[in-house]
């Protein structure tokens, strides 16, 4: 058990394992993404209320769901950093932060485009959008803190603490925003629920898209983490060997 754990924490082990995984991930993303996009953009019937605009949801929902998963993921990685001092966990935590910020930004942007079509305004203080916005600020805070601290060890631990505090706060923010919003603006045209109960021909392609974007996220995370590993381990022998081999090829 401990051996396995120590192995898992080794950046080199992760680097070599991910070498084997990446091709499979590329292929499955390509398949899922093309099937999902084709299905969602061309085959799915128009929504009786939202028309063609519903197709934005096939991007928005997967992206938003990942952006929600990023903070807990960062907090888990942070906890591992603090408790077991595992280097790999911090590299993952560092890689998640900008990806999370990007996905949150993307979710906000697609939400705004959808809002422009359906609500007639780019921005509304809708509960979902507002809590995404605040979460975006939280990501920016973690990234800012990381870049402000010079010592990598101190930065890792400080960001881990902030990620854990933030992760505890995210649900509180989400519920308080929802509560604030529902009591504030009863009904009106904001009430159209983009993910209302739908027939299978609508949610199956959504599921495909969600898995496609999840695989994409995994690839992005692995690539960033690999970059981080090479950066931080640049003085260790195996990285030097790797680089010289690549050069010779």
Partner 1 sequence: MNDAREIQGLKGVSTWSAFCATLRRDLIIALKRRNDLLNPIMFFLIVVSLFPLGISPDPVELSSVSAGVVWVSALLASMLSLDNLYRADYEDGSLEQLLLSPQPLYFLVLAKNIAHWLISGLPVVILSPLLAYMLYLPSEAYWTMVLTLLIGTPVLSLFGSIGVALTVGLGSRGLILAVIVLPLSTPVLIIGAKAVTDVMFGLPVSSHFALLGAILALALTMAPLASAAALRISVN
Can you give the binding site for partner 1, defined by CB under 8 A?
Answer: 82, 134-135, 137-138, 140-141, 144-145, 148-149, 151, 153-154, 157-158, 161-162, 164-166, 168-169, 172-173, 176-177, 179-180, 183
C-beta closer to partner 1: residue 172 or 187: 172
Q: Which two tokens stand for residue 9?
A: 């924490």
* C-alpha–C-alpha distance, residues 231 and 25, integer Å: 23
- Closest approach, Cβ 101 to partner 1, in A, equals 12
> What single DSSP character describes residue 46?
P
Q: How far, CA to CA in Å, does 171 sit from each of 57, 61, 70, 119, 132?
A: 23, 18, 13, 26, 11
Contact (CB, 8 A) for 82 and 3: no
C-beta closer to partner 1: residue 25 or 161: 161
- Closest approach, Cβ 96 to partner 1, in A, equals 17
- Closest approach, Cβ 46 to partner 1, in A, equals 37
C-beta closer to partner 1: residue 109 or 140: 140
- Closest approach, Cβ 155 to partner 1, in A, equals 9
Contact (CB, 8 A) for 110 and 40: no
* C-alpha–C-alpha distance, residues 33 and 27, integer Å: 10
Query: Taking the CA of residue 165 as centre, how many other CA atoms within 13 Å lie in the half-sphere pointing to its CB?
Result: 10
Question: Residue 45: what are its φ and ψ, rounded to 5°?
Answer: -70, 155
C-beta closer to partner 1: residue 109 or 164: 164
C-beta closer to partner 1: residue 56 or 138: 138
Q: Which two tokens stand for residue 111?
A: 């939400």
C-beta closer to partner 1: residue 33 or 82: 82
- Closest approach, Cβ 129 to partner 1, in A, equals 14
C-alpha angle 40/44/50, rounded to 5°?
Answer: 95
Quickly count: other Cβ atoms within 10 Å of residue 122's Cβ.
12
How distant is the alpha carbon of residue 163 from its chain centre? 14
Q: Which two tokens stand for residue 229?
A: 């590993």
- Closest approach, Cβ 164 to partner 1, in A, equals 7
C-beta closer to partner 1: residue 144 or 195: 144
- Closest approach, Cβ 79 to partner 1, in A, equals 11
């Amino acid at each position: 058990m401990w051996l396995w754990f120590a192995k898992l924490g080794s950046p080199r082990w992760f680097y070599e394992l991910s070498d084997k995984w990446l091709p499979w991930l590329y292929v499955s993303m390509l398949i899922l993404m093309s099937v999902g996009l084709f299905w969602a953009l061309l085959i799915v019937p128009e929504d009786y209320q939202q028309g063609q605009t519903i197709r934005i949801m096939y991007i928005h929902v997967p992206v938003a769901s990942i952006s929600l998963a990023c903070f807990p993921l960062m907090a888990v990685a942070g906890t591992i950093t603090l408790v077991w001092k595992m280097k790999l966990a911090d590299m993952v935590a560092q890689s998640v932060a900008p990806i999370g910020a990007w996905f949150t930004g993307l979710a906000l942007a697609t939400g705004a485009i959808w809002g422009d079509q359906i609500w007639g305004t780019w921005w509304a203080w809708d509960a979902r959008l507002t809590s995404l916005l605040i979460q975006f600020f939280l990501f920016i805070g973690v990234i800012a803190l990381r870049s402000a601290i010079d010592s990598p060890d101190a930065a890792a631990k400080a960001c881990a603490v902030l990620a854990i505090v933030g992760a505890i706060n995210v649900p509180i923010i989400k519920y308080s925003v929802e509560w604030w919003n529902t009591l504030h603006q009863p009904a009106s045209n904001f009430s159209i629920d983009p993910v209302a109960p739908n027939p299978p021909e609508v949610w199956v392609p959504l599921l495909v898209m969600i898995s496609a974007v999840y695989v994409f996220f995994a690839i992005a995370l692995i690539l960033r983490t690999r970059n981080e590993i090479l950066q931080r381990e640049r003085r260790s022998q195996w990285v030097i060997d790797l680089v010289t081999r690549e050069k010779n090829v």
